[in-house]
Amino acid sequence: MAGSSVYVAGTFDTKGTELNFVADRIRAHGLDVTRVDLSTSGTASEVEVQPATVAASHPEGAEAVFTGDRGSAVSAMALAFARFIATRDDVAGLIGLGGSGGTALVAPAMRELPVGTPKLMVSTVASGNVAAYVGPTDITMMHSVTDVAGLNRISRVVMTNAANAMAGMARGRAEAAIEADDKPAIGLTMFGVTTPCVNQLVADLSADYDCLVFHATGTGGQSMEKLVDSGLIAGVLDVTTTEVCDLLFGGVLAATEDRFGAIARTKVPYVGSCGALDMVNFGALDSVPERYRGRNLYVHNPQVTLMRTTAAENAEMGRWIGNKLNQCEGEVRFLIPEGGVSLLDAPGMSFHDPQADAALFAALEATIQRTPRRQLIRVPAGMNDPAFAQALLANFKSIIGEH
């Protein structure tokens, strides 16, 4: 088992009754508990980890946390707790309770933990949009139903369920034999319009690798890179880099500025391509920004509208991706599908635009600094042609073997 104690975190000066209630129920399952007080009042409490201990992990010291201003103190304590939790090697799970402030205190630390370590946040905001709290990792959000403000007939049931769930996850990790798979895990990115290519790669690789396919929805790419940073992925086939389109041009499935960052930090073997760089994603047709209404739009379904990228936009993406890849010092192969970058970009399809593709390819060639370890390779095939999948496969096998 990774870790030996379940951490129960929150502001014990205001939520101590509820947090201790949860801690006691986790202990009833025979598990060790470490209570962490994230109070910013500076008041000591009868817990295992005091606020001052956590605050000392802030890069500027505890005085940066205990400022007397609630807003800045909460932000600083959240950073300190994230730094603190990253130093612990005994975390069997992390559970927190709170409203928006308490959730903001605990969630960043949860995001620091490896994928697979149980993380459960009981929160008043859990029934809304929780993307900012969850990010790319496996945080379980549980709506508290009532406010986290005392014990009552509802909160006791919800918090008991939360404690039992955390205990089950932590005990399950310790006792249940996780099915052993000695095949190394690799990450692949896919969109509907690159599915034939990725499916062929999975079919060819699954005998030797545990293939983890990530939907390129913004969060999907972040999740893959989170696993890369966690050391859980041995190689990457980043076929579908479309999240860059949405980042640069205002789509709804955007990458962050750190896209490709984990590749640079870890030097993991990497093969990438231009999958779905022909499209920016929006919601229903009436959600497309006014400035784009005259563009080549494709209604994928009533909830999704795609916009074809222009030559100028493709050139900008090529430079952006190229500059990111220049920061990668590991084995990098980036393949250009000369016959089109998606199913919609194939000849005869609505997004087929050789001029726009040529601008993308030219910008990549002008920007990427080629070395023996960083190569840009043109392939005379479309993204979903079998020949292109075979080229991706051959390049991946050549560098994963060296790694």
Q: What would the pLDDT profile of 158-209 be if each residue is shown by its tens digit?
A: 999 999 999 999 988 765 544 545 789 999 999 999 999 999 999 999 999 9
Which residues are registered as beta bridge partners of 271? 237, 333
- DSSP string computed for 330-382: S-EEEEEETT-SSSTTSTTSTT--HHHHHHHHHHHHHH----SSEEEEEESS-
Q: What pLDDT sits at residue 177?
A: 43
**Secondary element (H or E) of residue 211:** strand 210-215
Q: What is the DSSP string of 212-247?
A: EEEE-SSHHHHHHHHHHHTT--SEEEE---THHHHH
Is the pTM of the predicted complex or chain greater than 0.75?
Answer: yes
Given a cut of 70, whether residue 84 has pLDDT beyond it is yes
Mean pLDDT of the 124-136 span: 91
pLDDT for residue 61 = 93
Mean pLDDT of 297-319: 96
Whether 403 has a pLDDT exceeding 60, the answer reads no
| Region 185-402: CATH code | 3.40.50.12030
**What was the pLDDT predicted at 123?**
95
Enumerate the domain spans of the chain: 5-175, 185-402
**Are the C-beta atoms of residues 37 and 80 closer than 8 Å to each other?**
no
| Cα distances (angstroms) measured from residue 149 to each of 15, 21, 159, 262 | 7, 12, 12, 40
**Confidence band, pLDDT 50/70/90 cuts, at residue 68:** confident
pLDDT, tens only, 207-249? 999 999 999 999 999 999 999 998 889 999 999 999 999 999 9
Q: Which residues contact 106 (CB under 8 A, 6 or more apart)?
A: 9, 10, 38, 78, 81, 94, 96, 98, 121
User: 3-state SS string over 117-182?
Assistant: CCEEEEECCCCCCCHHHHCCCCCEEEECCCCCCCCCHHHHHHHHHHHHHHHHHHHHHHHCCCCCCC
Residue written as token pair 């750190």:
258
The pLDDT of residue 178 is 47
Evaluate if residue 92 carries a pLDDT over 90.
Answer: yes
Above pLDDT 70, what percent of the chain? 97
Task: Over range 330-350, report the average pLDDT.
Answer: 97
Mean pLDDT of 391-402: 91
Please check whether the two domains, 5-175 and 185-402, share a CATH topology: yes
CB 145 within 8 Å of CB 119: no
Confidence (pLDDT) at 172:
85
Average pLDDT over residues 247-253: 97
**Cα–Cα distance measured from residue 219 to residue 223, given in angstroms and rounded to the nearest whole number:** 6
Tell me the sheet residues that pair with 308: 279
Task: Dump pLDDT digits (tens) for 276-292.
Answer: 999 999 999 999 999 99
The pLDDT of residue 115 is 86
Question: Rounded mean pLDDT of the chain?
Answer: 94
CATH code for the domain defined by 5-175 = 3.40.50.12020
Distance of CA 368 to the CA centre of its chain: 26
Percent of the chain residues topping a pLDDT of 90: 88
Tell me the C-alpha distance between 368 and 86, whole Å.
Answer: 35
In angstroms, the Cα distances linking 321 to 146, 270, 358 are 46, 14, 15
- pLDDT, tens digit (0-9, with 9 covering 90-100), for 7-34: 999 999 999 999 999 999 999 999 999 9
Question: Given pLDDT bands bounded at 50, 70 and 90, which one contains residue 44?
Answer: confident
Q: What is the dihedral of CA 272, 276, 277, 278, to 10 degrees?
A: 150
